[in-house]
């Protein structure tokens, strides 16, 4: 396992990084690309600036990644939406109507807030339960994947064979490769951006 740090000098113009033209997990020929993106937390031309890094995967690893997504992200989104919608209706109905111009839409705002909170909590619980139910079939690949809500708040992206996470208040991006060889190729491809290897350890 090898971890590389990518310095980010300008949040509005994050560096463009390149990956080897083969699977980041096993090194087989590329079949598809997973479009991973992280929000830089600043705006550029009226839109949020994103750090975009398309990650190549082979056909087999792409299927594994899809299966993991089916028991993590999808259940979180679907269960969260359904539970949030169910919670929204009673909260909207029981909330008192505002008496001023500024508070006329209070029931909708209150219902939306309650629905969002219930949706996030409910979706996370469903995802957590499913992770352990499917762990015997998916193994460590599933158990090591953080809960969706944690990834959102930690400014991180996970895909089979790779983890990318902001560090030092978004002044750098830490990219961890399960495959050392791919990590070294990644460094060679991006010599123009001053990369620093943070750590390396055996599997």
Looking at residue 31, its pLDDT comes to 93
* CB-based contacts of 3, cutoff 8 Å, min separation 6: 174, 175, 176, 177, 197, 198, 199, 200
Same domain, 92 and 34: no
Task: Write out pLDDT tens, residues 125-172.
Answer: 999 999 888 888 777 778 788 888 887 777 788 899 898 988 888 888
Q: Is 67 helix (H, G, I), strand (E, B) or coil?
A: helix
Looking at residue 203, its pLDDT comes to 47
- Which tokens sit at 150? 């944690």
Same domain, 79 and 109: yes
Q: How many structural domains are present in the chain?
A: 2
- Which tokens sit at 58? 């082979």
Same domain, 117 and 161: no
Sign of CA dihedral 139, 140, 143, 147: negative
How many angstroms separate the CA atoms of 173 and 26, rounded? 22
Looking at residue 145, its pLDDT comes to 82
**Could you tell me the residue range of the domain that residue 131 belongs to?**
73-144
Same domain, 77 and 140: yes
Looking at residue 193, its pLDDT comes to 61
Sheet holding 2-7, edge to edge: 156-159, 162-167, 172-177, 2-7, 196-200
Same domain, 198 and 177: yes
What is the value of pTM for the model shown? 0.71
Asked if residue 190 belongs to a domain, the reply is yes
Among candidate residues 144, 165, 189, the one where a domain is terminated: 144
What are the pLDDT tens digits along the chain (203 aa)? Answer: 888 888 888 888 888 888 999 999 999 999 999 988 888 888 887 888 888 889 999 999 999 888 888 888 899 999 999 999 999 999 988 888 766 776 677 888 899 999 999 999 999 999 999 988 888 877 777 878 888 888 777 778 889 989 898 888 888 888 999 899 999 899 888 876 655 554 555 54
Query: Kind of pairing, strands 162-167 and 156-159?
Result: antiparallel
Asked if residue 65 belongs to a domain, the reply is no
How many angstroms separate the CA atoms of 61 and 96, rounded? 52
Same domain, 138 and 174: no
Is the distance from CB of 182 to CB of 20 less than 8 angstroms? Answer: yes
């Amino acid at each position: 396992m090898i971890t590389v740090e990518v310095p980010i000098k300008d949040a509005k113009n994050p560096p463009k990084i390149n990956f080897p033209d083969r699977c980041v997990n096993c090194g087989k020929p590329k079949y598809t690309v997973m479009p991973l993106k992280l929000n830089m937390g600043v705006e550029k031309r009226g839109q949020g600036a994103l750090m975009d890094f398309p990650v190549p995967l082979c056909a087999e690893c792409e299927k594994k990644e899809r299966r993991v997504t089916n028991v993590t992200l999808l259940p979180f989104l679907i269960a969260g939406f359904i539970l949030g919608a169910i919670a929204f209706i009673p909260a909207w109905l029981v909330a008192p109507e505002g008496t001023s111009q500024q508070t006329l839409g209070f029931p909708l705002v209150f219902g939306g807030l309650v629905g969002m909170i219930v949706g996030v909590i409910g979706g996370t619980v469903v995802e957590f339960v499913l992770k352990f139910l499917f762990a015997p079939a998916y193994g460590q690949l599933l158990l090591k994947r953080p809960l969706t809500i944690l990834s959102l708040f930690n400014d991180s992206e996970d895909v089979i064979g790779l983890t990318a996470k902001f560090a030092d208040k978004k002044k750098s991006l830490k990219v961890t490769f399960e495959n050392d060889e791919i990590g070294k190729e990644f460094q060679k491809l991006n010599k123009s951006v001053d990369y620093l290897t943070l750590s390396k350890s055996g599997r």
